[in-house]
Amino acid sequence: MTQFFKIIGVVLCVIYSSKSIGACTIAVSGKIVDNNSKQTLENVSVFSKEKNMLVYTDSSGSFYFNNLCKGNISLQISLLGYDNKSISFSVSSDTIIELSLKSNSKILNELVIHNHNDNELGSISKTEINQSELFSKSGGNIGDVLKDVPGVTLLKTGSSISKPIIRGLHSNRILILNNGIRQEGQNWGSEHAPEIDPYIASKITVLKGAASARFGSDALNGAILIEPAVLPDTSGIKTELNTALFSNGRMGVLSAIVEGKTSQKSPFAFRVQSTVRKGGNIHTPNYFLINSGLEEFNQSAAISYKKKTWGIDVFGSHFNTKLGIFSGSHIGNLTDLQRAFERTKPIDTSYFSYNINRPYQSINHYMLKNRFHLSSNNYGKFEIVYALQQNNRAEFDKSKPRNDSLAALNKPELDFRLTTHSFDFLWEHKKMLGWQGSIGATFSNQYNIYFGRNLIPNFQSITGGIFIIEHYRQENFEIEWALRYDKRFLNVFERDRNDQINNYKLNFNRPSISMGLIYKLFTQSNVMANLSSAWRAPSVNELFSNGIHQANATFEAGNRTLIPEYSYSSSLDFNFNELNWLKFKAGFFAQQINNFIFLLPVQPPVLLIQGAFPSFKYFQTNAFLYGTDFNSEIIFSQNVSFITNYSLVRAKDLENKNWIYGIPSDRTELKLVFSPFTSKNLKNTSLSISNLFVGKQFRLPAGVDYAPPPNAYQLINAELIYQKPNSRKNNVVIIFGVNNLLNTKYREFLNSFRYYTDEMGRNFYLKIKLTNLTKLKK
Amino acid sequence: MKKNKYIILVLVISAAIQSCKKEQVELPAPIVNQPENITTLKLQLTDSANSAAVINAQYRDADGPGGNAATIDSLILDKGKTYLVNLVLQDETKSPVVDISSEVLEEGKEHQFFYSSTISGITFSYNDVDVNGNPIGLKFKLRTSNAAATGKTKVTLKHQPGVKVSAPGDITKGDTDVEVEFNTRVK
């Protein structure tokens, strides 16, 4: 309640201050460049003594002060890796200045090695998606944002549901951290997409490799860190409006952020954010897909209270979506499935409509996060986080119950409610005997209840973990190690056929270890090596699922004898930034997973009254995965550059001497970027054209799939980006582009709807981002 | 300042208590939306020439999908007969047992049964219609020829909302609700 009044206070204060503009009306803006390369520098801090205000340069190297008085003005400018600079000059009218900074190579060299926090593993292969890249990929779901990261592919169910695959593995083997909190949804299902609004993020980091020693057993094959921007540190109100329009599905997206701080001295800062998204039936090159629309409405709010040594953040969010499922994909039995993929196009093709009918998914995800942090000169930094998450997932089958009174209730056939409480504690200690690092502990308690058809039983899961990460840093290299111990208790209540409740109590525990080395090869290039041992307890669906998967006409049976997976992985990464004309990142990985859990068909098929259903059961084997991902940029001139992305994954079942099913095929993306304009107004305008080639996946075991894998395909995409230059106060970015320019008809191996329909056809889009910064008088 | 620290302490402690409170074991919730199953398909065949001669055959999977396997009767028919057949669908996982066939009849314009046999001498004809005058197949006629034979007879129920066509219908459309095979002997 107090917080509520404080928010009201903040808002009132904002309104009051914005009205009281004084007599000083001079504006000073400027641009900061590197004195050698003349490249503009982002995130340079510029401090005005007269205004007692600190600002940072934007992506075009620009900064802006307004409401300055006539007379002398002095600025202090600093950026990590550059020498500090102070200048003074007198102003009598609006002034534009250009400044250059001299690089301080010693610090830059260290950055090559020490580019991560004390509580992170720096030697794991990673890709960061920054704010401008996030905007250019915006408008879709979180999967659409991640899909261009080398080593990441998407597991899709139609066009609107997608989840990331990192180096061949997904779902239970990948952890998503949403604003520092482990995202807890029904993550096990291939048609259960992460419940996250991508517009929340200002940075996304994809960790490709075992991050278990830091994040716990779910991060066996990687982690995705979705981070919002830090709440503002300088006074002012920033509003940001994002829109995106897509021709295919006639989808519109609107997202707005208001954030600010009422005065430099106030300890409070806030942000409110909301996104609305609506799309209709999508169009393949030849026909519409009936019932493939979606609706989404999300909100979040954050407030922080920050004193010199301590602070509190509170963050709340609500994600709400309704996803139509192409109804041709809900089928009765194996015979129907056979008929579906013998057809070249679905039997009930459609027209355009925004209506969403059965079958559909309706998902609500609520999160509340409270974080307290404290830093002490003697002891380091402390952080305590408590989070509550509520995930409600309802899935409606194609047909309502035949009984009219039941049908009138319109209840979902699958209905899961998952509640998770989590505590995290972190201590980043001061340097001790040359080692810097962190010690942490996590605890979570979750329970799942279902109300619809039996697919997975009710359960309670309690997990706890403690970890330590330490780094030893020298100018040329860094050694790091991490050790973590996790314990998981699973308490399962299974309702059997005689309506008896059977209780199963399962305990799993094991350590995870990670060791890494980062070595500086040249001044701006490094090599990273990592060795990790990780584990994962079998999940509830793998142990206990028992029922029909309506979406793919299979009968899935859990296996109560499953034991945890043990993974031993190694990775080697090269980051090369030495030459002006060439940059590249290359990652290689190899990992053995013992007791790898996977689904295999069993004979004979289950005979139900609806007919024959292929029967699948979970088995374990020893698996070996290896591969590479590669990203390079060749800069021909200031105007032309050429980007290459390449991913390759192989996965072998060592016991059965066979391939593992469901691994992404090789893919290559080539992209040519032109920035032909030199005039001041169009300097940040660029045009790019890219070609994605996806090979055919023929490395799969015989007899496990209903239909042969789809053929290789190529897609051509093009994009034009315009950014208004030098505009700290009002910024405009406009993107116009097209996906699948040639309207190519294709099917993707990793889309479970490949049996029924082609993928989306040509899709034009227009994205506009408007940012406004209003400075407030002290 | 002091007050703020106090507020934090209260927040942290209350959060901790809230979390621990939930540690007591939650009992599984009642199943409020148990899905509809079809567990039983009964065929009642009456000799058109002798209403006292009745043959019953059923497919029964009383515990629904999974669990125990279904029991399937054999269909034993006489040569050169015409049978009037009545089909009943039930959900025996509910108490009392739900009669599904009356619901199929109610939504007759969205449903159609299809019959086929590997025995060439067996022929089928519909004996009922929906509101649009198209066959449903809850009632039908089965004729046997004068040759003795063994084979399989298949009963399929398709749910065809919006796509059901006029007689003889189209088995490739819609979703399959029932697909059952009876071992069949004509003697």
pLDDT band of A728, cuts 50, 70, 90: low
- What pLDDT, on a 0 to 100 scale, did the predictor assign at position A407? 81
- What pLDDT, on a 0 to 100 scale, did the predictor assign at position B76? 93
Question: Which residue in the set B12, B64, B175 is minimally distant from A398, CB to CB?
Answer: B175
- What pLDDT, on a 0 to 100 scale, did the predictor assign at position A745? 96
Of A366, A369, A271, A388, the closest CA to residue A319 belongs to: A366
Of A625, A626, A643, the closest CA to residue A587 belongs to: A626
Best of A403, A504, A609 to disrupt the B interface (most B CBs within 10 Å) is A609
Contact assessment for residue A478 and residue A122, using Cβ atoms and an 8 Å cutoff: yes
| Complete DSSP assignment for A725-771 | SS-SSEEEEEEEEEESTT------TTBGGGGT-PPP--EEEEEEEEE
Tell whether B18 lies on the interface with A, counting CB pairs under 8 A: yes
Contacts of B34 in chain A (CB under 8 A): 453
Q: Is pLDDT of A106 > 70?
A: no
Q: Is the CATH number of domain A224-774 2.60.40.3670?
A: no
pLDDT band of A21, cuts 50, 70, 90: very low
Q: Which amino acid is at B21?
A: K
Of A21-35, A725-739, A749-763, B75-89, the range with the lowest mean pLDDT is A21-35
Greatest alpha-carbon span in chain B: 101
Mean pLDDT score, B15-27 = 49
Select the more confidently predicted residue: A40 or B86: B86
Please tell me whether residue A647 adopts helix, strand or coil conformation.
strand
Are both A109-223 and A224-774 of the same fold?
no
Structure tokens at A720: 């034009």
Tell whether B107 lies on the interface with A, counting CB pairs under 8 A: yes
Contacts of A370 in chain B (CB under 8 A): 11, 15
Shortest alpha-carbon distance between residue A728 and chain B (Å): 36
Q: Which uninterrupted H or E stretch holds B176?
A: strand B175-186
Select the more confidently predicted residue: A345 or A564: A564
Q: Classify the phi-psi angles of A216: left when phi > 0, otherwise alpha if psi is within -120 to 50, otherwise beta.
A: left
pLDDT band of A553, cuts 50, 70, 90: low
Q: What percent of chain B has pLDDT over 90?
A: 53
Mean pLDDT score, A73-82 = 82
pLDDT band of B1, cuts 50, 70, 90: very low
How far from A507 is each of A421, A464, A498, A586, A679, CA to CA, in Å? 19, 12, 27, 39, 66
Record: fold of A2-103: Immunoglobulin-like (2.60.40)
Cβ-defined contact of B15 to A332 (cutoff 8 Å): no
Cβ-defined contact of B7 to A347 (cutoff 8 Å): no
Tell whether B41 lies on the interface with A, counting CB pairs under 8 A: yes
Mean pLDDT score, A659-665 = 94
Shortest alpha-carbon distance between residue B120 and chain A (Å): 22
Of A452, A615, A595, A551, the closest CA to residue A189 belongs to: A551
- What pLDDT, on a 0 to 100 scale, did the predictor assign at position A79? 82
End-to-end CA distance of chain A: 27
Find where tokens 């189209």 sit. B170
Contacts of A452 in chain B (CB under 8 A): 33, 35
Q: Is pLDDT of B20 > 50?
A: no
- Residues sharing a CB contact under 8 Å with residue B95, sequence separation 6 or more, in sequence order: none
Cβ-defined contact of B36 to A402 (cutoff 8 Å): yes
Q: What is the pLDDT of residues A606-650, one digit of tens each?
A: 778 887 777 888 999 999 999 999 999 999 988 899 999 999 999
Shortest alpha-carbon distance between residue B69 and chain A (Å): 8
> Which residue of chain A comes nearest to B111, CA vs CA?
A402
Shortest alpha-carbon distance between residue B161 and chain A (Å): 9
Q: CA B83, CA B57: separation in Å to the nearest integer?
A: 13
Q: For the sheet containing A26-34, what is the strand order?
A: A62-68, A26-34, A95-101
Q: Is pLDDT of A761 > 60?
A: yes
Residue spans of the domains in chain A: they are 2-103, 109-223, 224-774
Q: CA A113, CA A81: separation in Å to the nearest integer?
A: 13
Q: What is the pLDDT of residues A303-335, one digit of tens each?
A: 999 988 999 999 999 999 999 998 877 777 777
Select the more confidently predicted residue: B7 or A422: A422
| Complete DSSP assignment for A230-241 | PPPSSSEEEEEE
Best of B1, B11, B17, B19 to disrupt the A interface (most A CBs within 10 Å) is B19
Q: CA A727, CA A743: separation in Å to the nearest integer?
A: 37
Contacts of B7 in chain A (CB under 8 A): 2
CATH classification of A109-223, choosing from 2.170.130.10, 3.40.640.10, 3.90.1150.10, 3.30.499.10? 2.170.130.10
Tell whether B10 lies on the interface with A, counting CB pairs under 8 A: no
Q: Is pLDDT of A108 > 70?
A: no
pLDDT band of A85, cuts 50, 70, 90: confident
Of A249-253, A385-389, A621-625, B30-34, the range with the lowest mean pLDDT is B30-34
Q: Is pLDDT of A15 > 70?
A: no
Contact assessment for residue A70 and residue A78, using Cβ atoms and an 8 Å cutoff: no
Tell whether B67 lies on the interface with A, counting CB pairs under 8 A: yes
- Residues sharing a CB contact under 8 Å with residue A107, sequence separation 6 or more, in sequence order: A80, A81, A82
Neighbours of B111 (CB within 10 A): 25
pLDDT band of B33, cuts 50, 70, 90: low
Cβ-defined contact of B25 to A547 (cutoff 8 Å): no
- What pLDDT, on a 0 to 100 scale, did the predictor assign at position A150? 93
Please tell me whether residue A335 adopts helix, strand or coil conformation.
helix
Shortest alpha-carbon distance between residue A655 and chain B (Å): 29
Cβ-defined contact of A445 to B59 (cutoff 8 Å): no
Q: What is the pLDDT of residues B130-154, one digit of tens each?
A: 999 999 999 999 999 999 999 999 9
Q: What is the pLDDT of residues A187-216, one digit of tens each?
A: 888 889 999 999 999 999 999 999 999 999
> Which residue of chain A comes nearest to B24, CA vs CA?
A460
Question: Which residue in the set B4, B103, B162 is minimally distant from A403, CB to CB?
Answer: B103
Cβ-defined contact of A332 to B175 (cutoff 8 Å): yes
| Complete DSSP assignment for A574-617 | EEE--SSSEEEEEEEEEEEEEEEEEEEEEEEEEEETTEEEEEEE
Question: Which residue in the set A330, A413, A493 is minimally distant from B175, CB to CB?
Answer: A330
pLDDT band of A12, cuts 50, 70, 90: very low
pLDDT band of A7, cuts 50, 70, 90: very low
Q: CA A492, CA B25: separation in Å to the nearest integer?
A: 10
**Torsion, CA B168, CA B173, CA B178, CA B182, rounded to 10:** 50
Q: Is pLDDT of A558 > 60?
A: yes
Enumerate domains of chain B plus CATH numbers. 40-186 (2.70.50)
Mean pLDDT score, A498-515 = 90
Mean pLDDT score, A507-535 = 93
Shortest alpha-carbon distance between residue A663 and chain B (Å): 30
> Which residue of chain B comes nearest to A334, CA vs CA?
B176
- What pLDDT, on a 0 to 100 scale, did the predictor assign at position A511? 95
Tell whether B172 lies on the interface with A, counting CB pairs under 8 A: yes
Tell whether B28 lies on the interface with A, counting CB pairs under 8 A: yes
Mean pLDDT score, A267-295 = 95
Mean pLDDT estimate for chain A: 88
Q: If you count residue pairs, one on A and one on B, with CB atoms under 8 Å apart, how many are there? A: 142
Q: CA B142, CA B123: separation in Å to the nearest integer?
A: 6
Of A275, A280, A296, the closest CA to residue A247 belongs to: A280
Cβ-defined contact of A493 to B27 (cutoff 8 Å): yes
Best of A608, A613, A617, A756 to disrupt the B interface (most B CBs within 10 Å) is A608
A467 beta partners: A440, A484
pLDDT band of B9, cuts 50, 70, 90: low
Question: Which residue in the set A339, A423, A609 is minimally distant from B38, CB to CB?
Answer: A609
Strand pairing class (B71-72; B50-60): antiparallel
> Which residue of chain B comes nearest to A385, CA vs CA?
B12
Q: CA A109, CA A87: separation in Å to the nearest integer?
A: 27
Q: Which uninterrupted H or E stretch holds B93?
A: none
Contacts of A312 in chain B (CB under 8 A): 8, 11
Structure tokens at A755: 């049996």
Cβ-defined contact of B28 to A457 (cutoff 8 Å): yes
Contact assessment for residue A297 and residue A275, using Cβ atoms and an 8 Å cutoff: yes
Find where tokens 């398709």 sit. B158
| Complete DSSP assignment for B120-160 | TT-EEEE--B-TTS-B--SEEEEE--SS-EEEEEEEEEEE-
- What pLDDT, on a 0 to 100 scale, did the predictor assign at position A403? 76
Cβ-defined contact of A372 to B12 (cutoff 8 Å): yes
- What pLDDT, on a 0 to 100 scale, did the predictor assign at position B135? 94
- Residues sharing a CB contact under 8 Å with residue B158, sequence separation 6 or more, in sequence order: A332, B111, B112, B113, B114, B169, B171, B173, B174, B175, B176, B177
Best of B3, B26, B42 to disrupt the A interface (most A CBs within 10 Å) is B26
- What pLDDT, on a 0 to 100 scale, did the predictor assign at position B94? 81
Cβ-defined contact of B33 to A452 (cutoff 8 Å): yes
Contacts of B175 in chain A (CB under 8 A): 330-332, 336, 398-399
Neighbours of B43 (CB within 10 A): 22
Q: Which amino acid is at A307?
A: K
For the ranges A57-61, A290-294, A674-678, the maximum mean pLDDT occurs at A290-294
Contacts of A1 in chain B (CB under 8 A): none
Cβ-defined contact of A347 to B100 (cutoff 8 Å): no
